[in-house]
């Protein structure tokens, strides 16, 4: 791939090579090609939903055709984690189709993706199908309204990797909220998770005359309240995950006498919270916590069946980009928009006073303390992440029809959050002026930071009025 140096260089990571600049340069090169080859990539989910992505490549006999292979592989990975699929149809050069097949069969990084998508999420063997253009299945997509139900007495919760939040909500108004630190990814006994979640729910219930419904958000992939993939349960043995964790929220619902109970990905609730608080749609929510959580509310105010797990989607193509500890891949969002990003930038920033043995949440706290004291070294971390964000938002805009971006999470708390967003805006103004005019960045006010996510989660279930 032709790696392009950005005009706005992240000061703590000068080797950063944004994905968007690589793809933009490639598109410009293809535009001058005399006989570009049309390509269609279709992604199919288990319910029959199909999503298309079209592009042009050099003809197979063109000298630069082989150079397209790594770019298409990165593109397919982004599509896979943004849309979600167990089957990919590829109508294009046979050499690229063969390379994709080898990657997902033989490369440990591809094997990780294939296992998560096929075995864990969609319950079907993962496969790449090389087909002709007329054999590509037709697009089939649906969207649905999410949440915005504020009637009755509700509990909302949000489960993160370093803290869990809960709120008691009465007719849309929070009457209690609480945040408790925890470390679920280190716990191998699912009963520990049940007890901790129940503790928060019961504490919230004390502030309501009754509980009509419970809604929750959590890092991971959830289908019909069943856990498909979740980093919160990484320490649970596979056999115990199958027997106990998959239905853990259905178990909790039974413990609350079967009242309406709904759990979805935390990124979706982030976007929903932004849409509700701002009264705006076309909303991409990006939560920078222990990892990167992303959700999308389309311009109609609905969500789609897209996966939106952009923590695993590549945004940096430099050859020595940081490696994600779970997937083993380089340059993925989790290492750029999370406590992990802050942690890896502490040393380059020169904050030698921060003990490298500290946990990531503790490192973040100390960086925020230095930021509050006006330490320029801490500001450099936030400016660096802001550059990452600006270029990655431009990349995301190739895949999401968005007008608003809500940025939140522990990383954005304090003075550093404003610096981060200012730098992202500067990147768009410098490199992508059309997006600078189109996209508005938002950061929650203090009320929404305390209550927004949990209140939005509380709005997920629909209360059956005939039974209330």
Here the CATH number for the domain that contains residue 446 is: 3.30.420.40
> Is residue 21 in a domain?
no
On whether both 128 and 193 belong to a single domain, the answer is: no
Q: Distance between CA atoms of 197 and 166, rounded to whole angstroms?
A: 9
On whether both 224 and 345 belong to a single domain, the answer is: yes
> Is residue 448 in a domain?
yes
On whether both 106 and 135 belong to a single domain, the answer is: yes
Return the pLDDT at 350. 97
> Is residue 210 in a domain?
yes
On whether both 94 and 177 belong to a single domain, the answer is: no
Which of these three, 141, 175, 190, is where a domain ends?
141
On whether both 162 and 251 belong to a single domain, the answer is: yes
pLDDT averaged per 10 residues, the chain (length 468): 94 98 91 87 96 90 78 97 97 93 97 96 96 97 88 94 91 91 92 96 97 93 90 92 95 97 91 90 93 94 92 97 94 97 98 95 96 97 98 98 92 93 98 97 74 85 73
On whether both 276 and 412 belong to a single domain, the answer is: yes
Return the pLDDT at 220. 86
Q: Residue 281: how many CB atoms within 10 A of its CB?
A: 17
> Is residue 435 in a domain?
yes
Is-contact 111 123, C-beta < 8 A? no
On whether both 203 and 245 belong to a single domain, the answer is: yes
Return the pLDDT at 408. 87
DSSP label of 335: G
On whether both 212 and 85 belong to a single domain, the answer is: no
Is-contact 275 405, C-beta < 8 A? no
Strands 261-265 and 213-218: parallel
Which of these three, 141, 172, 198, is where a domain ends?
141
Return the pLDDT at 468. 46
Q: Which two tokens stand for residue 277?
A: 């608080």
> Is residue 25 in a domain?
no
> Is residue 15 in a domain?
no
Which of these three, 123, 141, 159, is where a domain ends?
141
DSSP SS3 for 15? coil
> Is residue 4 in a domain?
no
Q: What is the dihedral of CA 148, 150, 155, 161, to 10 degrees?
A: 20
Helix (H) or strand (E) holding 278: helix 266-278
On whether both 75 and 157 belong to a single domain, the answer is: no
Range of the domain at 79: 33-141
On whether both 206 and 265 belong to a single domain, the answer is: yes
On whether both 221 and 108 belong to a single domain, the answer is: no
DSSP string, 402-439: -SEEEEESGGG-SHHHHHHHHHHHHHHHHH-HHHHHH-
Residue 304 β-bridge partners: 143
How many domains in the chain?
A: 2
Displacement of CA 451 from its chain's centroid (Å): 21
CA 454 to each of CA 148, 217, 308, 368, 384: distance values in angstroms, whole numbers, following the listed order: 12, 8, 20, 24, 30
> Is residue 24 in a domain?
no
Residue 296 β-bridge partners: 284
The Cα diameter of the chain in Å comes to 72
Q: Is the dihedral of CA 392, 397, 400, 403 positive or negative?
A: positive
DSSP label of 115: I
Q: Is the dihedral of CA 177, 180, 184, 190 positive or negative?
A: negative
Site of tokens 């890092």: 219
On whether both 147 and 131 belong to a single domain, the answer is: no
Report the alpha-carbon angle 265-268-274, nearest 5.
140
Is-contact 42 60, C-beta < 8 A? no
- Look up the pTM and report it: 0.91
């Amino acid at each position: 791939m032709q790696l392009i140096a950005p005009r706005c260089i992240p000061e703590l990571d000068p080797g950063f090579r944004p994905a968007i600049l690589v793809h933009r340069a490639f598109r410009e090169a293809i535009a001058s090609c005399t006989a570009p080859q049309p390509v269609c990539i279709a992604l199919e989910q288990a319910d029959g939903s199909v999503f298309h992505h079209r592009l042009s490549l050099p003809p197979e006999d063109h000298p630069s055709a082989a150079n397209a292979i790594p770019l298409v592989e990165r593109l397919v990975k982004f599509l896979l984690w943004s849309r979600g699929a167990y089957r990919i149809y590829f109508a294009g050069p046979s050499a690229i189709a063969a390379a994709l097949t080898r990657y997902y069969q033989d490369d440990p990084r591809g094997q990780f993706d294939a296992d998560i998508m096929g075995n864990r999420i969609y319950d079907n063997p993962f496969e790449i199908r090389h087909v002709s253009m007329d054999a590509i299945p037709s697009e089939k997509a649906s969207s649905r309204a999410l949440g915005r139900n504020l009637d009755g007495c509700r509990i909302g919760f949000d489960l993160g990797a370093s803290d869990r939040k809960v709120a008691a909500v009465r007719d849309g108004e929070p009457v209690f909220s609480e945040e408790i630190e925890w470390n679920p990814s280190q716990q191998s006994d699912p009963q520990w998770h049940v007890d901790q979640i129940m503790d928060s729910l019961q504490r919230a219930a004390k502030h309501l005359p009754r509980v009509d419904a419970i809604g929750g958000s959590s890092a991971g992939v959830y289908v019909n309240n069943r856990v498909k993939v979740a980093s919160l349960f990484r320490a649970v043995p596979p056999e115990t995950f199958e027997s106990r964790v998959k239905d853990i929220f259905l178990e909790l619902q039974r413990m609350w006498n079967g009242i309406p109970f709904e759990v979805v990905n935390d990124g979706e609730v982030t976007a929903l919270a932004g849409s509700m608080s701002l009264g705006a749609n076309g909303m991409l929510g990006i939560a920078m916590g222990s990892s990167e959580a992303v959700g999308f509310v389309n311009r109609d105010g609905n969500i789609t069946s897209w996966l939106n797990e952009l923590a695993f989607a590549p945004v940096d193509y430099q050859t020595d980009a940081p490696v994600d500890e779970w997937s083993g891949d380089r340059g993925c969002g989790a290492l750029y928009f999370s406590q992990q990003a802050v942690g890896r930038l502490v040393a380059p920033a020169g904050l030698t006073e921060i003990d490298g043995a500290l946990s990531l949440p503790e490192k973040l706290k100390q960086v925020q303390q230095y930021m509050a004291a006006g330490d320029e070294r801490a500001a450099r971390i936030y400016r660096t992440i802001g550059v990452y964000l600006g270029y990655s938002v431009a990349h995301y805009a190739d895949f999401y029809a968005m007008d608003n971006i809500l940025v939140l999470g522990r990383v954005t708390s304090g003075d550093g959050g404003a610096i981060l967003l200012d730098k992202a805006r500067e990147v768009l103004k410098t490199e992508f002026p059309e997006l600078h005019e189109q996209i508005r960045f938002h950061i929650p006010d203090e009320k929404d930071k305390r209550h927004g996510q949990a209140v939005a989660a509380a709005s997920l279930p629909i209360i059956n009025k005939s039974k209330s």
